[in-house]
């Protein structure tokens, strides 16, 4: 999910940890690349 402030990833329902989530503040994203199976997001801390 993309909001005005964060890029939010939530685990799929059949995932081993269905309540897992990752929030990346948009201000920390320096680059982003999408391919057929992946979304690669680089941040200023990576």
Conformational region of residue 2, where left means phi above 0, alpha means psi within -120 to 50, and beta covers everything else: beta
**In the prediction, which pLDDT does 46 show?**
55
Q: What are all long-range contacts of 38-45, with beta carbons under 8 Å and residues at least 24 apart?
A: 41/7
What is the block-wise mean pLDDT of the chain (46 residues), using blocks of 10 residues? 93 75 94 93 85
pTM of the model: 0.74
Place of tokens 């994203």: 29
């Amino acid at each position: 999910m993309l909001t005005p402030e964060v890029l939010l990833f939530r685990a799929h329902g059949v995932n081993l940890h269905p309540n897992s989530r990752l929030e990346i503040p948009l201000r920390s994203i320096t680059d982003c690349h999408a391919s057929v199976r992946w979304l690669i997001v680089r941040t200023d801390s990576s």
